[in-house]
Homo-oligomer: A and B are copies of this chain.
Amino acid sequence: MSKPNKPITIKEIARKLRISPSTVSRALNDHPSIGLVTTMRVKKLAEELKYEPNQTAIFFKQRKTFTIGVILPKLSEPFFASAISAIEEVAGDQKFTVLLGQSLDNPERELNIINSFRTHRVDGILMSLGKNTTNLDFIESLHKYEIPIVFFDCVPEDVEVPKVYCDLSTGIQEAVQAFAERGHTQIALVNGPETLNASVERMLSFKKALEDHGLPFDDKYVVYSDLSEEGNYAAMEKLRMLADRPSAILAFNDYVTLDIIKFAKEKGIYLGHDVHVISFANYSMWKYMDNPPLGSIEQYPAEQGAQAAKILFQLIDKKESDAPIPNHILASKLVYQ
């Protein structure tokens, strides 16, 4: 019940035992050259005094903080919440702690966070890019400081950096196949903003999947939304106005799908009958809904986060940067509701 206002240090232990601080240090670290007796005495006293090494001193000395920084758009997104949850678990296993920063899709905030991480001397960074990020100079900057960075989910294109992401084409193939098997020929894509990589990728894979299944591709069945509720409604309205409406829809993500469901309800369109929907990223919510989408394409946020973290720890461990740049691409998968 003593009150250690001043934390116990190695020096104090040394003084009380009338030995040198270096001996204490070595004893505590099980250095082989220290005698068993001394080691025991030191450890015993350290225990009694409730000695706790001052990590800030160790960080300072070892130039290592056992800390990684994670930057992602928004923590309250279920997708990213799952990812960071998995990252934290992997990091914990490695005795690393996780520093947190959310960019809110703001490039300026992203840079601030990265700078903050750098001044905090994190050992590495995991990052999922915000929607509006265009300037990627910070990658080179981090490289100079020898801080490894691994991207996940929303990763930069055409840049040689370690990244982990989900290949949407496999899931889209499955989705189109699922539609085709059910006799659909007029399949629409409610896509995100044309400027987004994620949109382009969906579009290209969608087109290819149609071709692979011998289905015609028609521009009018691809509509774009800014992902706001109004945008989603406007996109749906475009489809509704068509002479031959689509009987199946691939939706940009689950949020879009929710708006599609709402739109359909308001317009008296019977989901799962008049039109069938498949979307991206899997909510456990769906099973509770009366007319859930046919399925959604799972992108495995937890796996992406865990995988990215593992790669980052490999990079942190071996300074050798002559190894090939590690990438990891997960296959997306259609999951039926």
Contact = CB atoms under 8 A, between A and B. Distances in A.
Contact of A76 (B67, B78, B95): B78
A88 B101 contact: yes
A56 interface: yes
Copies of this chain assembled into the complex: 2
B121 A54 contact: yes
Contacts of A81: 75-78, 81
B53 A119 contact: yes
A120 interface: yes
On chain A, which size bracket covers the interface? 35 or more
A4 interface: yes
Given A99-B97, A144-B4, A265 B290 contact: yes
B118 A52 contact: yes
A102 interface: yes
A92 B101 contact: yes
Given A3-B144, A75-B81, A144-B3, A55 B288 contact: no
Nearest to A116: B97
A170 to B, nearest CB: 24
Interface of A: 3-5, 7, 52-57, 59-60, 63, 65, 67, 74-78, 81-82, 84-85, 88-89, 92, 95, 97-102, 116-121, 144-146, 258, 261-262, 265, 285, 287-291
13 contacts: A7-B145, A53-B119, A54-B121, A55-B121, A56-B56, A67-B99, A75-B85, A76-B85, A88-B101, A97-B120, A98-B99, A262-B287, A290-B290
